[in-house]
Amino acid sequence: DVKVTQSSRYLVKRTGEKVFLECVQDMDHENMFWYRQDPGLGLRLIYFSYDVKMKEKGDIPEGYSVSREKKERFSLILESASTNQTSMYLCASTVSSYEQYFGPGTRLTVT
């Protein structure tokens, strides 16, 4: 059974903090994605990665960076958290077909 896990379900951070969100998949997928989901705006792609140490910007990369040191793990980093980064963050992976497998999401609140 496919599995994508995210390090936290809920997270509260203060403005200016550095925040790490981690995602792990056990399916040996090459491609991994980070989205944020906001009411009325839907899923927006932040970054994606197609191999270890490889990354591509999505539609809204500003204020975020990513790291992929191992195939199964993809981290999203908020260098200096701001209140407008309060959101639901979803990680997904895929082998190269069109079905993406999503994690349960991390609800991040920045105060």
Partner 1 sequence: QKEVEQDPGPLSVPEGAIVSLNCTYSNSAFQYFMWYRQYSRKGPELLMYTYSSGNKEDGRFTAQVDKSSKYISLFIRDSQPSDSATYLCAIPDRGSTLGRLYFGRGTQLTVWP
Residue 33 in contact with residue 48, Cβ under 8 Å?
A: yes
Q: For the CB of residue 65, give the shortest distance to partner 1 in the complex, in Å.
A: 19
Give me 76's structure tokens: 């999203």
58 token code pair: 């999505």
Q: What separation in angstroms does the CA of 32 have from each of 66, 105, 110? A: 11, 14, 25
Residues 17-36 that bind partner 1 (CB under 8 A): 31, 33
Stretch of 11-19, 43-51, 63-71, 74-82 lying at the interface with partner 1 (CB under 8 A) = 43-51
Contact residues toward partner 1 (CB under 8 A) are 4, 31, 33, 40-43, 45, 48, 50, 56, 90, 92, 94-100, 102-105
